[in-house]
Chains A and B, each alone.
Chain A
Amino acid sequence: MDLSFSAEYEKFREEVKAFLAANWTKEDAAAAPPVDERATLGGAVRTDSRANELRRKAIERGYLYRHVPKRYGGSERPPDPLAQTIIAEEFRKVQAPHEVIGQGPSMLVPTLIEHGTEEQKQKFVLPTILGELRWCQGYSEPGAGSDLASLRTRGVREGDDWVINGQKIWTSDAQHADWMFCLVRTEPEAPKHEGISYILIDMKTPGIDVRPLRQMTGTADFNEVFLENVRVPYSNLVGKRGQGWIVSRSTLKHERALIGSSSMTRRVFDGVLMLAQSTQLRGRPAIQDPIIRNRLVELEAKLRASEYHGFRQLTMSARGEEPGMAGLVSKLYSTQLGYDIGKLAMDVVGDRGALAAGEPEAPFGGMLVSAYMWSLGVLIAGGTANVQRNIIAERGLGLPRDPAASRR
């Protein structure tokens, strides 16, 4: 075990600072365009030309997209959590744009790197990691949620094209996306997991109708997507025909998203901590309330556990070890923690939590409730907590598979 910020890392920190000092001014940071609505749950992400100019230089220096090969636009460096922590910290300090957050960079890019054709990688990876191409994920359907492999959107080959018919739902950001990576049933006779293909669809293709769905927070961040005789080139297939299920699972092997999620949780927690220090609750700062204080430390311990768990997973991956149980629990652990943190934020503001955005006395402009509700959203997104529990029990503990789940 070696976690030291050795002299080597301190030198590295100075390098990153010098790079930012030379390439990113206070004016650059202040010149943020209006909040980018395309940003997903990760919050605002700048993708204007000034931001991407810096991003490109940072990639050249090896600071960003270390998991993406150089020939596709990344910086191709071995995982190094300490270096990545330093980079993230220094970028945050000067409000410099870091990696683009979203389903394109976090899900599509690793999938393409593993399964895409050379042409697909050349065409899509760089614009995606620069945020110039925005993606949505066409997985869930009205009848295929937890049982995703029962999806029914059909793809039929006609000459050099796929013709796709069906409906997707809960599609985050479909209204802003340029492209969709989509799971489509192409082999109706095959067992359900073996009849699916992973196909890229240009959202400007005729026959696509995106209708917003309003979620419990009151805003509409996801959609229904109707596909009627949508015709896309056959070459938009990623991986082999009928192997879309395996292709889509490959993302699970990439730990990057996990690391991202714990740094996101850290940001939310730090926000709640500041809130507890600055909010008066029953006549004193909330953080002096013994119960709030106790729960803050309890969650701090879990958050640290989750962060160090990320270190451990990166080490396992660098050593070529199978992640096993360590990988299976990450999502469930971090989403439960996210909910607990959101709940604590509500308790910190006490009865003022009743007030909604628009009410002058609402703490944080009423945004806390939205964050609290979103912590439930992520408990569901990408496989509900109960599905995660099945996976942990079956793959991690070797308990029997649910017989109904493996039926055709």
Chain B
Amino acid sequence: MDFGLTQDQLLLKDTIRRFLEEQCPTTRVRQVMDGPTGHDPELWSGLVDLGVTGLYVDAQHGGAGLELLDLALAAEELGYNATPGPFLGNALAQIALALGGDDEQRRRFLPQLTDGSRIGTFALGEADGEWRPEKVATRAERGRLTGTKVLVPYGSLADVLVVAARDEDGPGLWLVEQGAAGMKATDYLCNDLTRRLSQVELDGTPGVELPGGAAAAARVRDAGCVLLAADAFGGCRRMLDMAVSYAKQREQFGQIIGAFQAVKHQLANLACELEPTLSLWWYAAHAFDRIQDESAHRAALAKALLSDTFDRFARDTTELHGGIGFTWEFDLHLWFRRAIFDRSFLGDANDHRARAAELAGW
């Protein structure tokens, strides 16, 4: 029994953190978010070199052959740093290929999505807040897809899209390449400025089915829930660090505001709220590979609790900063906005709680 990180995992986190500290301070985050694509190829290639894009890819396809927990630890650090770019969608496309693809599909796409030569994404959501793979309405007929996918991460930038759809056999996953006939990707204006989302319309668009897609679709969603929970945890940590550090500098009434009990208690409540949630997403990440019958349930719990927690942190840390926290120039709103992405993508907290209740047999 051991419920903690290995030396390798601590080293991985530390390496990513130091890289992002040096290469991606918030000044650069802001440059990327102000740019046309929300993607910084140089930063991305740095992450590729660190191995961040290959953590969940097996060695024969150029990856490190690690587990979802390792990938989630990377997501936590990216969340801490509000790192812009297509990490999440690319990782989910890789997981879909790894779990649902055949040998040839894996051989063809996984190395490209690992070495940065191409970018992948995952198109699940549809109108009316539907994120259950078994409920998707997009139709596949004889290798052609028709339907509208919403909130697709970097849907216009990605080279390869893994699309959840259904054919006469039921729901599954199909690979669609950017620019395929009848495909139209339009970027939304998003509240999160560090990760872009697109609407993807498919009208008789050619797609190749992943043979194991039916079973993989829900698993990919579960993995996404864990990665969002980890991102949210990283974001919460950052907001708490910022608020604590501000409370130690800012003076009013002749003392630093961190000496006032009202401020101390608000910060203590946040720390208390956050600390145990770490173990929930660790567990969910671990369960994804190792305790699969618990995996879907724990992923839903983690996504729901962590996205709620991130919202609460956004609220309280903004309040703790006073006026400066409400300005555009101050960085805090980068995470406030990131919290809005984390709560929305893959479905909101209430939806995941409703699923968790079903999964628990209640």
Contact = CB atoms under 8 A, between A and B. Distances in A.
Interface stretch (B79-87, B107-115, B117-125, B257-265): B257-265
A300 B360 contact: yes
A386 B268 CA distance: 10
B350 interface: yes
B248 interface: yes
A309 B244 contact: no
B1 A3 contact: yes
B180 interface: no
Interface in B158-177: none
Nearest to A310: B279
A277 interface: yes
Interface in B225-272: 244, 247-248, 256, 258-259, 261, 263-265, 267-269, 271-272
A305 B229 CA distance: 13
A81 B308 CA distance: 29
B291 interface: yes
A243 B69 CA distance: 45
Interface in A1-36: 1-4
Interface residues of A, number: 52
B268 A390 contact: yes
Most buried by A among B248, B265, B275, B308: B275
Interface stretch (B188-196, B282-290, B334-342): B282-290
A397 B4 contact: no
Nearest to A392: B268
Contacts of A400: 256, 258-259
Contacts of B278: 309, 312
A226 interface: no
Interface stretch (B25-33, B149-157, B299-307): B299-307
B264 A399 contact: yes
Interface in B184-219: none
A388 B350 CA distance: 31
A75 to B, nearest CB: 17
Given A277-B362, A301-B302, A399-B244, A4 B290 contact: yes
A294 interface: yes
B50 interface: no
A399 B282 contact: no
Interface in A357-408: 386, 388-390, 392-394, 396-400, 402-403
B275 A326 contact: yes
B12 interface: no
Nearest to A287: B362
B354 A396 contact: no
For the complex, would chain A's binding face be called helix, strand, loop or mixed by DSSP majority?
Answer: helix
Contacts of A3: 1-3, 283, 286, 290-291
B268 A316 contact: no
For the complex, would chain B's binding face be called helix, strand, loop or mixed by DSSP majority?
Answer: helix
B357 A297 contact: yes
A348 to B, nearest CB: 13
B3 A314 contact: yes
Contact of B267 (A312, A388, A397): A397
B277 interface: yes
A293 B350 CA distance: 10
Nearest to B256: A400
A389 B275 contact: no
Nearest to B69: A1
Contacts of A399: 244, 247-248, 258-259, 263-264, 267
Interface in A289-327: 290, 293-294, 296-298, 300-302, 304-306, 308-309, 311-312, 314-316, 318-319, 325-326
Contacts of A403: 259
A301 B1 contact: no
Contacts of B139: none
A316 B4 CA distance: 8
A155 B108 CA distance: 81
A81 B350 CA distance: 32
B353 interface: yes
B275 A309 contact: yes
Contact of B277 (A273, A294, A305, A389): A305
Contacts of B99: none
A296 B304 contact: no
Contacts of A398: 244, 248
A397 B259 contact: no
A183 interface: no
Contacts of B59: none
Given A296-B357, A393-B268, A402-B261, A308 B275 contact: no
B267 A393 contact: yes
Contacts of B24: none
B66 to A, nearest CB: 12
Contacts of A300: 301, 356, 360
B305 A298 contact: yes
Contact of B1 (A80, A287, A293, A316): A80
17 contacts: A3-B286, A4-B291, A293-B362, A294-B350, A296-B357, A300-B301, A301-B280, A302-B305, A304-B301, A305-B280, A308-B276, A332-B272, A333-B272, A386-B265, A388-B268, A390-B261, A392-B272
Given A305-B280, A396-B271, A397-B267, 20 more contacts: A1-B69, A3-B2, A3-B290, A82-B1, A83-B1, A297-B356, A297-B360, A298-B304, A301-B356, A305-B277, A309-B276, A325-B271, A333-B272, A389-B268, A390-B261, A393-B267, A393-B268, A394-B264, A399-B247, A399-B264
A-B residue pairs, 10 tightest by C-beta? A308-B279, A393-B264, A311-B3, A309-B276, A392-B268, A297-B353, A389-B268, A305-B280, A301-B301, A301-B305
